[in-house]
Copies of this chain bind each other. A is one copy, B any other.
Amino acid sequence: MTPPRISADRLLADLAELARIGGRPDGGVDRVAGSEADLAARRWLASRIEAAGLEARTDAAGNVFGRVPHSRGPWLLLGSHTDTVPAGGRLDGAYGVMAALEILRAFHEAGHPSAEQLEIVSFYDEEGVGAGGGLAGSTYLCASEHAAELSGYLELHIEQGPRLEAEGFELGVVDGIVGIDRWDITIHGAANHAGTTPYSMRRDAGAAAGRILHGLRRLVQAVDAEMVANVGEVRLLPGATNVVPGEARFVVEMRALDPRSLRRAAEALHEEVAAAAAEAGCEATVTPRSSVPPAPMDPRLVGAVEAACAESGRRWRRLVSGAGHDAGRMAEVVPAAMLFVPSHLGISHSPNEHTEPALLAQGAWVFASAAAKALEFPRDNDHISGK
């Protein structure tokens, strides 16, 4: 069944109107979860849903839903989030929510027979700028009774990375969302006078830390060529030019789609940290800081998104999402999949976040087509009875 025609103009006008709520002079958006702007955006979204003759609902977590009045589940949920990081962009999250609204509106206006099986959502606090850690709204939904009324979850999002644009693709089908393991590492050496302590008597925690910073890429790529890792900050103590560092503290972050890669990389990290510490006459501790498991997308929904991409005739590829998304949390309880459009230069979480309007419109059209395909699946709800 072909999807109804969606209006790119209306989608882009909605996006522009939403960008004014918490909008910044530099073109960015300040709409941190719980802020006045965030709550205003949720009220505005509810009013837009109602203006289309649809039913708006806000749950106890602050998630805003929209659906055809009096419709009954199970619903295929489409959505993303409208909160931003401080000085964020106009598209991260907002694009997926506005596209979901346009699609439901178009299905409803066209009297499409599947309109009643669609629901849209703006999840509360995806970004986790405050204490919550993010994904607050989707986490709440997963634990609520409403989760059992959903047939699946589809999310349209900007890539927030440079790959699609750099490789000349216009659409990206997400295989899965990486797991993220973080390790706290402390190297224990001895702080000493940097002039009077000969090398043979030093226990330089900074030298050991340097070996990890430099070697981390090789370490994880030997385990899994697709995985990445990072050290974003390092502290040397006591932190003086003329004192050999007695302690080094840093966090190693590792991301991979395959949990076996995360495990093997962690083993390699433990060994390498011990070796680097020993080389510098130091000791080291490696302790887990946090772990978010990988979230593979649902093969049948991924197939629907792929089929829609293929029909579009545009260049598309599959890729792994290196960033977290509500779809990752939703995948724990319902079939889920994602479609990406390119991010110009990979810039996100910035006022400079940008995707050409033509690519945004095309992404929404392909996403609508994917949703229509998913709505044609037999409604077995096996995933629910299987829980």
Contacts and interface: CB of A to CB of B under 8 A. Distances in A.
Interface of A: 159-163, 166, 178, 180, 182, 192-199, 201, 204, 206-217, 221, 228, 230-234, 236, 238-245, 251, 253, 255, 276, 321-324, 346, 348-349
A346 B197 contact: yes
A233 B239 contact: yes
B228 A232 contact: no
A194 B253 contact: yes
Contact of A232 (B166, B215, B243): B243
Copies in the complex: 2
Contacts of A215: 210
A202 to B, nearest CB: 8
B346 A232 contact: no
A215 B214 CA distance: 10
Nearest to A162: B201
Contacts of A198: 161, 163, 228
Nearest to A212: B210
A245 B161 CA distance: 16
A241 B245 contact: no
Given A232-B242, A236-B232, A253-B242, A207 B213 contact: yes
Most chain B CB inside 10 Å of its own CB: which residue of A204, A214, A228, A276: A214
Contacts of A236: 231-234
A126 B160 CA distance: 55
Q: Which of A213, A231, A349 has the most CB of B within 10 A?
A: A213
